[in-house]
Amino acid sequence: MQLPRNIVIDQDAINEIVNVCNDLKLRGRAMVITGLNTKKIAGEVVVGLLSDGGYDGTDLIEVLSASMHEVERVKGRANDIDAAFLLGVGGGKCIDIAKLASTQLDIPFLSVPTTASHDGIASSRASLIQNGQSISMPAQAPMGIVVDTKIIASAPYRLLASGCGDIISNYAAVMDWRLAKKLGKLHGADYSEYAATLSWMAAQILIDATASIKPDSDEFVRIVVKALISSGVAMSIAGSSRPASGSEHKFSHALDRIASKPALHGEQCGVGAIMMMYLHGGDWQSIRDSLKQIGAPTNSKELGIEDKYIIEALVRAHEIRPERYTILGDGLSREQAEELAKATKVV
């Protein structure tokens, strides 16, 4: 079980980066992995703070995509400069690349997110693109997490709403996990009631907070970030992504493969959760209503994805990670998929 040791969530928390590194007894040369846009927002700031704080020779590298090629490029640069630890400063791709690269290099890494669009902030999984397909790989959890709520709040609100969709979709994932346990179809994977409860609680706390949502509210940003971190911790406790990834994620990954222009990951998972909770006989209406209140998509039109792709993704979703049993079972027929999407008003 790998859990973050230091977590700082506050306005201007980025200024605490040196203190966090010192508290974690990190020594040697640091390397910052950032993106083209996040370089100016936070990447260069972190480099300057670390350099001024005694971490001489702190290096920075920009990554262009969440690909294995970029992971190898980061590893090569880290070896060249003899980096002692990495910092993923940016969105999901920066953090996931730093996460996997540091795992393979066997050095620590810190997570410094500039958006809160999904639970990769704290999880022990890395989502990357390989051969044109989205894959999820085991990796180490961050040793520390520094979340500057002012930076998160300044990002486009759509990204925060996407993070909410990812958290709320935990409901469907936990239902799938419990169903697989009940039917004896875990296929060697352990079930953890503690991890399941933590994941479920993260979704519940967020839904309870939707009535007080204000896009520019620092308090709401804190709630979302804490829920995303809790979701990531649940996965570390479980030793897999099952507490936060079930049929709704299969649906999202299927959309990524077939839609001409997929939406954000969390947005697709949120819409998927509406339909999967309907199949479970759960309170899918509350999920839909909460997503609406947050300002996240609840149907194909709001996702910007044609109805035909929604139906096709439902039909093909069970093919994604077939060893992971969910409410989709051996798959839906096209007629069942159409009936499901219409009943939940997704199409």
- Is 273 among the domain residues? yes
Written as one string, the DSSP assignment of 246-305 is: SHHHHHHHHHHHH-SS---HHHHHHHHHHHHHHHHTS-HHHHHHHHHHHT---SHHHHT-
Q: Final residue of a domain: which of 137, 154, 171?
A: 154
Per-residue pLDDT of the chain (347 residues), as tens digits, is 889 999 999 999 999 999 999 999 999 999 999 999 999 999 999 999 999 999 999 999 999 999 999 999 999 999 999 999 999 999 999 999 999 999 999 999 999 999 998 888 999 989 888 877 778 889 999 999 999 999 999 999 999 999 999 999 999 999 999 999 999 999 877 899 999 999 999 999 999 988 777 777 888 999 999 999 999 999 999 999 999 999 999 999 999 999 999 999 999 999 999 999 999 999 999 999 999 999 999 999 999 999 999 999 999 999 999 999 999 999 999 999 999 999 999 99
- Is 105 among the domain residues? yes
Q: Final residue of a domain: which of 119, 154, 189?
A: 154
Same domain, 125 and 174: no
Same domain, 12 and 90: yes
Same domain, 253 and 237: yes
Q: What is the pLDDT of residue 118?
A: 84
The total number of structural domains that make up the chain: 2
Same domain, 64 and 109: yes
Same domain, 142 and 185: no
Q: What is the pLDDT of residue 130?
A: 80
- Is 1 among the domain residues? no
Domain that holds residue 122: 6-154
What is the distance between the alpha carbons of residues 134 and 8, in angstroms, rounded to a whole number? 30
- Is 141 among the domain residues? yes
Same domain, 194 and 337: yes
Written as one string, the DSSP assignment of 320-335 is: SSTTS--TTTT---HH
Q: What is the pLDDT of residue 41?
A: 96
- CATH number (domain holding residue 319): 1.20.1090.10
* Six token digits for residue 215: 């896009």
Q: What is the pLDDT of residue 188?
A: 74
Same domain, 62 and 117: yes
| Integer angstrom CA distances of residue 168 from 153, 231, 240, 251 | 20, 10, 18, 15
Closest CA to 271 of 174, 188, 186, 344: 344
Q: Final residue of a domain: which of 128, 154, 180?
A: 154
Same domain, 10 and 105: yes
| Helices and strands (H, E) in the chain, number of each type | 16, 8
DSSP strand E in the chain: where?
6-10, 29-34, 59-62, 83-90, 109-113, 125-130, 133-138, 144-148
- CATH number (domain holding residue 72): 3.40.50.1970
What is the distance between the alpha carbons of residues 300 and 207, in angstroms, rounded to a whole number? 22
Q: What is the pLDDT of residue 241?
A: 92
- Is 24 among the domain residues? yes
Same domain, 133 and 174: no
Same domain, 311 and 162: yes
User: Residue 292 region, left (φ>0) first, then alpha (ψ -120 to 50), else beta?
Assistant: alpha
- Is 168 among the domain residues? yes
Same domain, 150 and 166: no
Q: What is the pLDDT of residue 286?
A: 95
Same domain, 214 and 233: yes
Q: What is the pLDDT of residue 181?
A: 96
